[in-house]
Structure 1
Amino acid sequence: MTSFISHTTVDCADAYALSEWWKPVLGYVDLEDDPNEPGHEECLIRDPETGHLVLFIEVPDTKSVKNRIHFDLMPREGTRDEELARLREHGAVEVHDLRDQWGPGTGWVVLADPEGNEFCILRSPAEREAARAAHEAEA
């Protein structure tokens, strides 16, 4: 017997505000029959393509240490650096830049959302494939 992940939960101080912040980052939407509203202590958003769910739930304690689990985001289109620029404009804060640490075009950038939850921006599938093809051509 095994289990599956029903949804990903993010503890937070303001479930509505954080769910609203993450919706355009991920391209997620409210559930049709359960829209999120100000004052809701639990706000659930869904990926319209995959159905993945993220639940934001208010807790009394504040974030005090590094996340033990975090999102690794990969752009659906464009590049890692274009997505990084978009997320900075949206209000994400850069925590650590690990681009090019393992050679040109490698690595990721660690960002934080408005409540300090860290997440990473990786290279897009197209960037990863281009790097793989270039490496094979050199070999």
Structure 2
Amino acid sequence: MASFISHLTIDCSDAYSLSEWWKPVLGYDDVPGDPNLPGHDECMIADPAGEGTNVLFIEVPESKSVKNRLHLDLRPRADLRDTEIERVIAHGATVVADRRGQYGPGTGWVVLADPEGNEFCILRSPAEVDKQSTPAGE
């Protein structure tokens, strides 16, 4: 019998603030019936459509000191990759590395960091991937 991922946990210094920052990035909300409040040392957010993995933010005493060994790869639901990157940067993310075009025109991703320095990537949207894989002339 195999296991499944219940939720993804992100260590942080302020669980409430970081969960609030991530909600509009992912389009997530508080878990129904379990609101996150200032001062909570654990805050869970969930995809309201029930399609994505829940994310739990837990306060820990130590600060982030090295590159994440695990990170989120985000794919825009509707917008293009570059539009989504601009949106998330305007929301307060910082650019860590720009890998757009690394494997040719129209490819790649951008590595960003949230306000506590946790890295995540924004990939091309499903429409961009489909367009890239469609043979010319079709």
User: Same fold by TM-score, threshold 0.5 exceeded?
Assistant: yes
* Distance in 1, Cα, partners of 2:44 & 2:38: 13
Q: Structure 1 counterpart of 2:80, which letter? A: T
CA separation in 2, counterparts of 1:51 and 1:103? Answer: 30
In the aligned structure 1, how far is the partner of 2:107 from the partner of 2:127? Answer: 13
Do residues 137 (structure 1) and 133 (structure 2) align?
no
- Could you tell me which runs of 5 or more consecutive residues in structure 1 were left unpaired when the two chains were aligned: none
Within 5 A, what are the aligned runs for 1:14-53? 14-49=14-49, 50=51, 52-53=53-54
Q: Deviations over 1:9-41 (max 9, x none)?
A: 000000000000000000000012110000000
The whole-number CA distance in structure 1 between the counterparts of 2:75 and 2:52 is: 17
Q: What TM-score do you get using the length of structure 1 for normalisation?
A: 0.95
Q: Runs of 4+ in structure 1 displaced over 2 angstroms? A: none
Q: Which runs of 5+ in 2 are unaligned?
A: none
Task: Give me the CA root mean square deviation.
Answer: 1.0
Aligned partner of residue 136 in structure 2, secondary structure: helix
Q: How many residues align?
A: 136
Q: Percent identity?
A: 67
Residues 29-72 of structure 1: CA deviation (Å, up to 9, x unaligned): 00121100000000000001115210000001110000000000
Structure 2 counterpart of 1:63, which letter? Answer: K
- The two structures have a TM-score, normalised by structure 2, of 0.96
